[in-house]
Amino acid sequence: MITILAIAGMSGSGKSSVARILTEFYDIPEVTSTTTRSLRAGEVNGVHYHFVNVEGFQSLISDNKLIEYSQHPSTGDFYGMSVDAVKETASKSKMGFVVAVLDPNGVKSAHQFADINPDVTVISFFLESSQETCEKRIRAALTNGECPSRVKARLDRLAGESNWHTAFDYTYRVFNDDEYLKESDLALQILERAS
């Protein structure tokens, strides 16, 4: 049995930090996504992403090897979570849990996949934060050395994510609107609800 802990939230909600904490401190491995975008300096194929060309990605789609996928609206690059990556990641999990950071459409697709695959369960979490809190967190990344163009891209994305909290009926909602609430506390809440 594989349990996917699907974490969604607007840009700046803390979803990537929570996923990292679940991996580093609770030994729940994160599924490595597949993408058609180019490998960047410092990235390793199979570690940061599974890098494939467009034809390879299209084959994964036509062979029903992807649980969810989407195309980035501004770059045109494809991103997705493959069945093989989930199985490979689950084989390394002591608890049978894997974590995946997804958008609402990805969460919906993962639940649909689980509905027709009895050996897979999806527990979805939406990290609820106000638009203002998310924007504040994204802007704070500038002081932590994040590239200004990346911060701008995240702020631009955030503007289109305001309906994400109602886009799907998530299994759980975890509130992260308190600037003093640590991501480790959120990770623990997620783990307690999943157990």
pTM across the whole model: 0.86
Going from N- to C-terminal start, the domains of the chain cover 2-194
Q: DSSP for 17-47?
A: HHHHHHHHHH--PBPPPEE-SPPPTT--BTT
Closest CA relative to residue 5, chosen from 15, 128, 24: 15
Q: Distance between CA 192 and CA 195 in Å, rounded?
A: 5
pLDDT in tens, the chain (195 residues): 999 999 999 988 889 888 999 999 899 999 999 999 999 889 999 999 999 999 999 999 999 999 999 998 778 999 999 999 999 999 999 989 999 999 999 999 999 999 999 999 999 999 988 888 888 888 887 777 778 888 888 888 888 888 888 888 899 998 876 654 566 677 777 878 887
- The whole-number pLDDT of residue 152 equals 84
Which amino acid makes up residue 123? I
DSSP state of 170: -
Class of domain 2-194 as given by CATH = alpha beta
Number of other CB atoms surrounding residue 1 within 10 Å:
8
Q: Distance between CA 158 and CA 12 in Å, rounded?
A: 8
Per-residue CA distances from 75 to 71, 92, 136 (Å): 8, 33, 25
Supply angle C-alpha 147, 187, 42, rounded to 5: 35
